[in-house]
Amino acid sequence: MDVKNELNKARQNRYAIGAFNTSNLEVTKAIVCAAAKFDIPILIATTPSAIEYAGLKTIFDIVRDEIANSKIKAAIHLDHGKDFNQIKEAIEVGYKSVMFDGSKLSFDENVHLTERLVEYAHRHDVCVEAEVGVIGHEEGGKVSGKSEKSAPDQVKKFIELTGVDSIAVSVGNEHGAPKGESLDFKLLKSIADVIDIPLVLHGASGLKFHDLSEAIDVGVAKINIDTNIRHAFLHEIETSKEKNDYRVPFAEGMEEVEKVVSKYLEIFSNV
């Protein structure tokens, strides 16, 4: 799948590509089963912590094989990559989409490293996402600090300097599905009005469905879902009555994840 092309199509036609996080076979299967019911592409995302848990080649092979054995249009995406060497390794293994998260760095350093990655990734036909502003709260089970909203002029300048393919912004969205999360749509529209590449929304698990639909209408073309997938899978395992065969609670967790992903894909289709 040509990720850059698909993101641009989503932006132009006002739907969103869901990036759904996985760390194992079961969640990956559930995501693929949900995606098979819809006619839009998806990304299956792995964070550095997922790679640490499963192994880079192992998790890549799981996702690649599940996609290959289905009829869905999908690609594997590296989410919140911070280590340049790990991102290069992911590209060499076969990732078609990567995110460099330099949001905690100075603006100039973020620009420098992103530009360097874009140059490398584009030689391998890999789509690159970056982040301007800081999306705070919880990320991969760890507190990542306070949010800093993205400034439209900085986002525009960053894109011009780096040649990045898509951009994640901080507009009230936070990782970890915190209560009371709401988007600053005025800021989001201000950013959308001055850029010409797809916008990415992280920390979407805590947002209301109508907010996601409105964000898509403004120009968001990729939406990340992680926390609600983990919560759905864990809840079914914790409440399962089966105590002897772990495959039973895993199957129950997969069924619930499929429901969660299906609901998001219904929203992202924006029909």
131: annotated binding-site residue? yes
226: annotated binding-site residue? yes
175: annotated binding-site residue? yes
Please tell me what DSSP assigns to residue 148. B
- Provide CB contacts within 8 A for 244, sequence distance 6+: none
225: annotated binding-site residue? yes
195-225 burial string, b = 16+ CB within 10 Å, else e?
Answer: bebbbbbbbbbbbeeebbbbbbebbbbbbbb
Closest CA to 184 of 193, 175, 174, 172: 172
Around Cβ 108, how many Cβ atoms within 10 Å? 9
Task: In whole angstroms, give the CA distance from residue 137 to residue 154.
Answer: 22
> What does each C-alpha distance from 123 to 117, 160, 239, 268 come to in angstroms?
10, 19, 48, 31
Please indicate whether residue 79 is annotated as part of the active site.
yes
The answer to whether residues 225 and 264 touch, using CB atoms and an 8 Å cutoff, is yes
CA angle 23, 26, 31 (to 5 degrees): 85
163: annotated binding-site residue? no
39: annotated binding-site residue? no
> What does each C-alpha distance from 74 to 28, 40, 260 come to in angstroms?
12, 9, 18
176: annotated binding-site residue? yes
203: annotated binding-site residue? yes
- Provide CB contacts within 8 A for 122, sequence distance 6+: 128, 163
35: annotated binding-site residue? no
Torsion of CA 43, 228, 56, 131, to 10 degrees: 60
205: annotated binding-site residue? yes
Set 61, 79, 108, 193: catalytic member: 79
61: annotated binding-site residue? no
Q: Which residues are annotated as catalytic? A: 79
Binding site for dihydroxyacetone phosphate: which residues?
176, 203-205, 224-227
Binding site: which residues?
80, 101, 131, 175-176, 202-205, 224-227
Binding site for Zn(2+): which residues?
80, 101, 131, 175, 202
